[in-house]
Structure 1
Amino acid sequence: MVRHNNQLPDNLPQLQNLIKRDPASYHEEFLQQYRHFQNSLDVFQLAPQQPNKTVDDLVMFLAQVSHCYTQELLTFPQQLIDLLQKHNMLLDNSMRMTFCRALILLRNKNLLAPTDLLELFFKLLKCEDKALRSFLETHIISDIKNLNSKHKNGKLNATLQNFMFTMLRDPSTRAAKMSLDIMIELYKKNVWNDAKTVNIIATGCFSKLTKVMVGSLKFFLGKDPDEKESGDSDSDNEINPRDVIMANRYNKKTRKREKHLTKVKKLAAKAHKKKTKPPAFNFSAIHLLHDPQGMAEKLFKQLETTTKRFEVKLMTLDVISRLIGLHNLFLLNYYPYLQRFMQPHQREVTRILQFVAQASHELVPPDAIEPLLKTIANNFITERNTSDVMAIGLNAVREICSRCPLAMSEDLIRDLVEYKTYRERSVMMAARSLMHLFRNVRPELLHKKDRGRPTEAMQEYTAKEYAQMDAKDYISGAEVLLKEDKEDVEIDSESGSDDDEWVDIPQSDEELINDKSDNNEKIDIQTKKELAKKVTLERILTDEDFKRIELANIQKQVDPFKKGQKRKLEETDVGEKSELVQLGDIENIYKKRKHDKEARVESVRRGQADREKFGYKDGRVNIHCSKTNREKKKTKNYQMIRHKVRSKIKRSFKDKQIALRNYLVKQKRMK
């Protein structure tokens, strides 16, 4: 191998390449550069705020070849760490970034412990360097993810989580916010998805730093911190890129128009990506809290004394309502606080109604929620308001009563149900949905005419008092499995018998229930309970069995009680009720849908089906006879009749004389 020793001291990339190929042959050159680094470092520490290209190049060189000379560079990582800890705020941005990159190289080669490096990087988050903070955040997340890729490193995670807990209390807004963002990102990536991480993030809800508090609240709301509020974007105001492209094709092409077209295409692509992206839910984080009651009380106390903007108050109210609803908490002062905001002109009033519904559950005393229902009825459900306001009020009452039906009084529900015949369809539909709810939960409050036909479900209904549990030792509706088993046996016997002999089967419970149902006789409810209990105790139910039972229970709400089965319920997927109240359930107002162009064209085509063809009507008695020259002229090519069209050309005096003479001659002949 040819050695160029005279060039190597000044050509570090070449020396780095040669050392990686043959470390032993270039040991002396490496020691020369290492001594040069130590001397340059002493000079650099005299003025650390000044950039030094020599130190910059030597640091990256030593980090690249560190795996070749581990013994010689045993103290090199600690030198860089001490340098960053001592002069982290004074260093030039480029020098600080170089030292961090070198440490990451050493960490990737397992020459540095992960805890030492991560704790140093957390301290560097306080620096006034946005590029460095973003770089460090990315590395911290990826490094912790890689450390937990094969198996959870509990000891390391506990150490880092404790360090992040102290960082959340740091007076530096940037460091605290960055620590919070790192923990939230690790939770979303299922790296730190344990209860300790969630409870550490929960402490950020009480931070004096607004950014940290808002970030923690949004985490429990299941929203991305960079995502805008749902009310900021309106689908009706979105720009259709197809319209802009067509306009740009035919209009005058200018630089401004081209720039606008490019922007619209980017927005359309971003909107499509956002729609196709699967939603990320963090609702499970609320279930991992150690003390949800204490957190709700502290948040409400903080809310009463805060002077922050209205959007922050709304987020706090949202988190409190979710805590109350998901954990069945008691916070009785929360409801009078919301009552004063329930006015139609109040800003974000639909969200406040959503918070009331989310904070309602069966264990809340009815006396605490009944004043809210009366306030909604007095302020929203009155004819002095618009139909949309009335419908929103009825929807809010329905959502509240679906979670706490005992809060509704008999007089109020009967007054609200009277809107079922209101002239506005949106109000009528909302009132009927409220009536259908109480047919299932508390039918005794409705008038007899509003309860509908008596069904099997109504006969099995028993009114529950406050905090009363309806515990059963059987699965309601399990008796339907006996009937289906009987039908399967009959089918098998018909298809599998090759002779004409009859086989006597002894009378059983299955035959008893099927015979009564086939004869359209009334089956005693007590008998059904006994049969359901028998099935529950004697069989191991599968998922298909539970699906049939659920469908049978729904069919009980459809079929009349005194008659047999009038119609069979189709097997459809029955969705479970969501733990949280959707804002769309309250804002769901019945209106005619806004049709797109294709729907409007189709509607026009349907209207033209039986109508006479629009346009020129041929008045000829015989359609086979010829047309006049004037009629034929309308369909001819213009180039053929261009020489005859002289209406727009000004005639000369001679032409006028000729025309007048011809006219007079014609008149004379007619006489």
Structure 2
Amino acid sequence: MPRGVLRTANLPQLQNLIKRDPTSYKEEFLQQWNHYNSIRQIFQINPDEQAAHFRELITFISQVAQCYPKETAEFPSHLSTLLLEHYGLLSPDIRHSIVQNLVMLKNKGVITSIELLKTLFPLLPRTTSSTLRSFIRKTILTDIKSANMRSKNHKLNRAVQAMLFGMIERGMDGVVTGDKGKLRNEPRSAGDGTVNSGDEAMWAVVLTKELWKKGVWDDAKPVSIVALGCFHPSAKVQSASLHFFLGSDEEEGDSDEEEDNGPDIKSLEHKREVTKKTRSGDKKMRKSVKEAKKKRKAKGTHSRANFPALQLLNDPQTFAEKLYDMLSKYDARFSLDHKILIMQLLSRVTSAHKLTVLGFYTYVLKYVSYHQLRVPAILACLAQSVHDFTPPDALMPAVRKLAAEFIHPGVGAEVIAAGLNSIREICRRQPWAIEEDLLGDLVEYRKSRDKAVTAAARGLLQLFREVNPGMLKRRERGKTASMGISQGVQPAPFGHAEQAAVDIEGLVLLEDHLKAMREEAGVASGEEDADEDDAEAWNGWDVEEDSSDDSESEGWIDVSSDGEDNIDISDSEDEGGKSKKKDMDVDQSEAKAADPNRLSTLATTKILTPADFALINDLRIKAATKAVEGGGGTAAKRKLASLEAVRKVTASGDNADANAFISEIDILGPRKKAKADYEERIASIAKGREGREKYGSLKGKKNKAAPSSTTNREKARNKPIMMIMGSKGVKGKRKQSLREKQQRLRAHIDKAKKSHH
């Protein structure tokens, strides 16, 4: 065969030659290019005609496209058009090959990431192949993550976020069917290229959640995308969006976490046990374990978001009102589980932003009943939505309904405890939500015989001893509260703050700590040293700004410090006499370091970094620990517990406040130990058998001081039956008369009775 014919027919060989010398083999390439154009026209009419050869031509041109950029300028658009317009007519092999070649063209720099993603995004809801869907999803996430590795690629992020917004908005005009009629939902298309109304929006939410989880996107724009998904007509899209804000785990679609998790340590250890032990195997095992731990640690550090999603919501009041409108409008179409999801998000947004949605407290009343399914979760939502700016008039009907439904002699102790705990959590956030007569009746349940009811009633009593002891009877106020009332201490009325915000709590401790550190180091507090310390303190805490907002920030504004422009942060009014006893207990330790009435000037001379706030929290924990050790009381203990919880949550990477959210456990309270199931009983039996022989007793020779052999009686028990058939004892039993058998049985019965007495 001539060499020229061989080059033309053998595409891999021709591909290799073209990459070495594109100019010399341009005619051969143009011949294949014309051949590709003719087959492409035939393929659009009849996709089954020469499908294998067409796939080979596509791969060949993709490999050498960078060598002839002018001739192949339209080639990427050919592939995109073929996928998007004729997707239903293509075979699975052709689809996968075209997608792979488009990714190759992007890697070679022939097309940009935006052009690639514009083709891949519409394919996700259309494809029915799990392999192709996983490949497309992995490609999208990897491409966006790589583009934002060193710095934020704002151009790509804005383009991708605009596409995701469009994917959700296109289905917003649909009819809300709810999740009760799951069989009425539109079935997924079986490969014809059509898209279900919720599939496109679902993938937009899934990809946004994944990029947020990986730490690629951490600003308000992805939060707005998922917030829009909360009001999508598809209940599945709503559920995925709600779970994002609630922070709960829900798996959607195919997972691509395998590449980040690394090797499975348990499987490697098992493989090492069953295979031959060698030094090289041990070395590989240690290397794999080290690599897996490193990847897991890097993944956990990288996926930490800068700000919680709830705090980045745009116009949270409108968002909360839309949630309530959707909840009340489609109450009959949503299942109870879905409505509870909406209630949970509504309550958390209301609590986080101090919002007021008065209609929610009327809506939830119909679910406040002890026989209602999942009532602990509903009560947790009710208590979660309350804050110090919630009007007490809107809460009093709910509290009265709680007392009437849950707290009366006709229900069980667990129901009464749940009702008392719910009222306590509501009153903890708004002490004026309960009437004085009702409070007196509820406090009497502290004399109950049930432990859970007693604990709940005592918790309610202790709460009002701290926040509003005047509502309690005189004998129930306690010593500390009675002394406070006699000194004129009164709770703040509704809508009033306890004290003006004139300082940052714990800032005095930080100022004294920094001063002590300078004295130890012997360094004067100069401006240059302070600037260097500030620069070092911001390492690892910097947040990059969006380039689109650069025009709005025009630098620092100089403020004059002379004359009338001075900012006076001091307060001549002494707030100490009006502070409550619990604040005085906690501040006793801080008073040892500085005067409680002293205001720190550190915030006016230094920009506080996140590291400074972390140090403030540590110093407050130390001060609270000293207050507890010095007899600070229950208020100091609760203060210490809350500070430690905040530090634990911050160290774990979770942005939520530990005390902000209420769980069902808080409503149910301490409960009696439930009956153990089969697995727990088996585990208990196995634990009791540890350290002893099977079916053996520890009595006998094992407890003797000197070891001895077994007795003849013990040996006789273990003898085979045929060895003792001829013994006197067995023969004597066989020859016994009826009278002798009766006497022997009577003697046995008498002996057994004596042993029992």
Counterpart amino acid of residue 620 in structure 2: F
Cα–Cα, structure 1 residues 9 and 305, in superposed 2: closer, same or farther, change >3 Å?
same
Counterpart amino acid of residue 645 in structure 2: G
| Cα separation, 1, equivalents of 2:221 and 2:602 | 43
Counterpart amino acid of residue 438 in structure 2: L
5 Å matches for 1:146-157? 146-157=146-157
Could you list the per-position Cα deviations for residues 424-477 of structure 1 after superposition, in whole angstroms to 9, with x for gaps in the alignment? Answer: 111111222222222222222223443334289957954110011122546889
- Which of the numbers 422, 428, 435 marks the counterpart of 1:402? 428
- Partner-residue secondary structure (3-state), 1:340: helix
Match of 2:233 in 1: 208
Match of 1:351 in 2: 377
Q: Would you say the 8 A contact 2:125–2:199 is kept in 1? A: yes
Could you list the per-position Cα deviations for residues 42-67 of structure 1 after superposition, in whole angstroms to 9, with x for gaps in the alignment? Answer: 22122246671111111012212333
| Cα separation, 2, equivalents of 1:447 and 1:28 | 102
**1:349 to partner: Cα distance:** 0.5
1:194 to 2:219 alignment: yes
5 Å matches for 1:15-414? 15-20=14-19, 23=22, 26-48=25-47, 52-131=51-130, 132-171=132-171, 172-226=197-251, 284-306=308-330, 307-414=333-440
Q: Would you say the 8 A contact 1:343–1:380 is kept in 2? A: yes
Match of 2:493 in 1: 465
**1:407 to partner: Cα distance:** 0.8
Match of 1:503 in 2: none
1:592 to 2:673 alignment: yes
- Which of the numbers 546, 553, 558 marks the counterpart of 2:620? 546
Match of 2:723 in 1: 643
Q: Would you say the 8 A contact 1:477–1:549 is kept in 2? A: no
| Cα separation, 2, equivalents of 1:480 and 1:461 | 27
- Point out the more displaced range, 105-114 or 409-418: 409-418
| Cα separation, 2, equivalents of 1:14 and 1:599 | 67
1:534 to 2:598 alignment: yes
Q: Would you say the 8 A contact 2:229–2:238 is kept in 1? A: yes
Counterpart amino acid of residue 496 in structure 2: Q
Q: Would you say the 8 A contact 1:357–1:400 is kept in 2? A: yes
Match of 2:450 in 1: 424
**1:570 to partner: Cα distance:** 9.8
Match of 2:752 in 1: none
Q: Would you say the 8 A contact 1:551–1:571 is kept in 2? A: no
- Partner-residue secondary structure (3-state), 2:309: helix
Counterpart amino acid of residue 662 in structure 2: V
**1:298 to partner: Cα distance:** 1.6
RMSD of aligned C-alpha atoms? 4.8
**1:284 to partner: Cα distance:** 1.6
Q: Would you say the 8 A contact 1:222–1:280 is kept in 2? A: no
- Partner-residue secondary structure (3-state), 2:598: helix
1:581 to 2:645 alignment: no
**1:364 to partner: Cα distance:** 0.6
Counterpart amino acid of residue 203 in structure 1: L
Cα–Cα, structure 1 residues 648 and 536, in superposed 2: closer, same or farther, change >3 Å?
farther
Counterpart amino acid of residue 534 in structure 1: R
Counterpart amino acid of residue 123 in structure 1: P
| Cα separation, 1, equivalents of 2:113 and 2:506 | 58
**1:410 to partner: Cα distance:** 1.9
Could you list the per-position Cα deviations for residues 290-317 of structure 1 after superposition, in whole angstroms to 9, with x for gaps in the alignment? Answer: 1111111122112222122222222111
- Partner-residue secondary structure (3-state), 1:226: coil
- Partner-residue secondary structure (3-state), 1:89: helix
| Cα separation, 1, equivalents of 2:440 and 2:109 | 74
- Point out the more displaced range, 170-179 or 390-399: 170-179
5 Å matches for 1:549-568? 549-551=623-625, 558=632
**1:404 to partner: Cα distance:** 1.2
Match of 2:257 in 1: none
- Partner-residue secondary structure (3-state), 2:597: helix
- Point out the more displaced range, 401-410 or 359-368: 401-410
Question: Would you say how many aligned residue pairs link Structure 1 and Structure 2?
Answer: 553
Q: Would you say the 8 A contact 2:201–2:229 is kept in 1? A: no
| Cα separation, 1, equivalents of 2:133 and 2:369 | 45
Match of 1:668 in 2: none
Q: Would you say the 8 A contact 2:205–2:225 is kept in 1? A: no
| Cα separation, 1, equivalents of 2:404 and 2:82 | 69
TM-score scaled by length of structure 2: 0.63
Q: Would you say the 8 A contact 1:343–1:379 is kept in 2? A: yes
5 Å matches for 1:620-639? 632-635=712-715, 638=718
Gaps of 5+ in 1: 229-272, 485-524, 606-612, 618-622, 661-671
1:438 to 2:519 alignment: no
Q: Would you say the 8 A contact 1:303–1:313 is kept in 2? A: yes
Q: How many percent of aligned residue pairs carry the same amino acid? A: 33
| Cα separation, 1, equivalents of 2:12 and 2:365 | 72
Cα–Cα, structure 1 residues 51 and 392, in superposed 2: closer, same or farther, change >3 Å?
farther
Q: Would you say the 8 A contact 1:455–1:557 is kept in 2? A: no
Counterpart amino acid of residue 76 in structure 2: P
- Partner-residue secondary structure (3-state), 1:533: coil
**1:551 to partner: Cα distance:** 4.1
Cα–Cα, structure 1 residues 533 and 149, in superposed 2: closer, same or farther, change >3 Å?
same
**1:321 to partner: Cα distance:** 1.2
Computing the radius of gyration over CA atoms, which structure comes out larger, 1 or 2? 1
Q: Would you say the 8 A contact 2:402–2:423 is kept in 1? A: yes
TM-score scaled by length of structure 1: 0.70
Counterpart amino acid of residue 188 in structure 1: K
Could you list the per-position Cα deviations for residues 493-529 of structure 1 after superposition, in whole angstroms to 9, with x for gaps in the alignment? Answer: xxxxxxxxxxxxxxxxxxxxxxxxxxxxxxxx9xx89
| Cα separation, 2, equivalents of 1:457 and 1:63 | 85
Q: Would you say the 8 A contact 1:394–1:430 is kept in 2? A: yes
| Cα separation, 1, equivalents of 2:326 and 2:100 | 43
Q: Would you say the 8 A contact 2:7–2:13 is kept in 1? A: yes
**1:353 to partner: Cα distance:** 0.1
